[in-house]
Structure 1
Amino acid sequence: MANIAAQRIRREIKEVMKNEETAGASIKLELIDNRWTELKGEIGGPPDTPYQGGTFILEIKVPETYPFNPPKIRFLTKIWHPNVSSVTGAICLDILKDQWAAALTLRTVLLSIQALLAAAEPNDPQDAVVAKQYREDPHMFEMTAIHWTNVYAGGPTPVFEFNQKVRVLTEIGVNEQVARVALSTYHWDIERATEEIFSIYP
């Protein structure tokens, strides 16, 4: 079984390297330590989204039963999106769960994840906090997603005011990531974020 999976993965990596669609969509795939069970995926943020200009790295773990069972994929690059955990990078996508089919390939999965960035499903969220902001305050969601893309994925558009607020909290001894998550969660209200941080970390 493992040989079937290994052969299939090698073929799929060549497919991604040669495919014009994936090249145009900034999608890459490579083995880690030459082991077919562990791969690194890379997708570019889709145009006209808060993720535009960002480069997002994905961890891909392939089971020995592939392609009859789906790969396990998560974001290594932090991202603010309703269908991706802002903490673990876990992805809520049907083809990675009950809608998987052996005919699917890693190329189609990466393209589907990229499409998810452009068309979130807030009613089937992986991250309830992000989904709530997405539904209730779309502008704040977009600004926060742009900020995260700039900080973590090399995106081109810094949100200066947000960087200042993170700096205020780090200067009083708060961990930068803790500060950013709290501020993002509380709509960049520095007082509410500070209260929350010090209630958790007195």
Structure 2
Amino acid sequence: MNPAIPNHRIKIDVMRLIENKFDVTTFDNYRNLIVKFYGPADTPYEGGVWRVRVLLPDNYPFKSPSVGFDTQIFHPNVDQISGTICLDVLNQKWTALYDLVIIFDTFLPQLLKNPNPDDPLNHCAAMVLTRTPERYKYVVAKHVQEFANPEKVKQWERGEDVEQESGISDLSDNEEDG
């Protein structure tokens, strides 16, 4: 298949994302997407807004999309530098029955609600979650405030540079209110 021509399934899946009220920006004839993703309620990620990149391979949906966070996030199963996600349903267990909506409606919210410190990409986040869960919530909240707040999204939408510095120093900050 000519990569300049998206397959019918890609168009359908992108349109379904938009119909499901996701803010989607497409590039390269629907093959590359940026999707605005909101942190799920009742988690330390609530109130955060992330840019999530999706790269669709030529043989999508038979091959899984590449999905990663462009906005920094503190999570055991997300590499803090690259944004790569460690999630078996996006890798080994992907099936053509899945679509883009299930990624954003189910898989990513579940990832944020149920971090798995036993299979980490971010060993620091896994260690903090395992040893001091309250501290983990505090560091996540600081990351949300610093990197994933709605004002940062507005800056990005206006085309302004939004710096994504490492938040590793957050672990040594004095915790005054939490």
**How high is the TM-score relative to the length of structure 1?**
0.72
How far off its partner does 1:2 sit? Answer: 5.0
Identify the residue that residue 59 of structure 2 maps to in structure 1: 65
Q: Give the aligned partner of residue 99 of structure 2.
A: 105
Output the CA distance in 2 between the equivalents of 1:2 and 1:119.
39
Aligned pair 1:47/2:41, yes or no? yes
Contact 1:13 1:30 in 2 (8 A): no
Whether 1:177 aligns to 2:162 is: no
Q: Which has the higher contact order (CA 8 A, sep 6+)?
A: 2
Larger C-alpha radius of gyration, 1 or 2? 1
Select the structure that is richer in helix: 1
Aligned with 1:188 (options 154, 158, 173): 173
Residue 123 of structure 2 aligns with an amino acid whose one-letter code is: A
CA distance in 2, matches of 1:74, 1:116: 12
| RMSD value, Cα | 2.3
Q: For 2:114 and 2:50, how far apart are their aligned partners in 1?
A: 16
Shift of 1:189: 6.0
Contact persistence 1:5–1:65 (CA under 8 A) = no
The structural deviation recorded for 1:15 is 1.3
Change (3 A) 1:122 1:5: farther
Q: 1:14 — aligned with what?
A: 15
Q: How many pairs align? A: 161
Question: Are the structure 2 counterparts of residues 132 and 155 from structure 1 closer, same or farther at C-alpha, using a change threshold of 3 Å?
Answer: farther
Q: Tell whether the 8 Å contact from 1:43 to 1:56 is kept in structure 2 after alignment.
A: yes
**How has the CA–CA distance of structure 1 residues 37 and 43 changed in structure 2, closer, same or farther, with 3 Å as cutoff?**
same
**Amino acid across the alignment from 1:139:** E
* CA offsets 1:1-32 (integer angstroms, 9 cap, x no match): 4589531111112212223xxx3xxx433312
Structure 2 unmatched ranges of 5 or more: 152-163
Equivalent-residue separation in structure 2 for 1:93 and 1:5 (angstroms)? 26
SS of the residue 1:48 aligns to: coil
Inter-partner Cα distance in structure 2 for 1:42 and 1:108: 15
Q: Which runs of 4+ in 1 moved over 6 A?
A: none
Check whether the contact 2:52–2:69 (CA below 8 A) recurs between aligned residues: yes
Give the letter aligned to residue 45 of structure 2.
Y
CA distance in 1, matches of 2:81, 2:18: 31
Matches within 5 A, 1:140-159: 140-154=135-149
Question: Relative to 1, partners in 2 of residues 1:108 and 1:91: Cα closer, same or farther, differing over 3 Å?
Answer: same
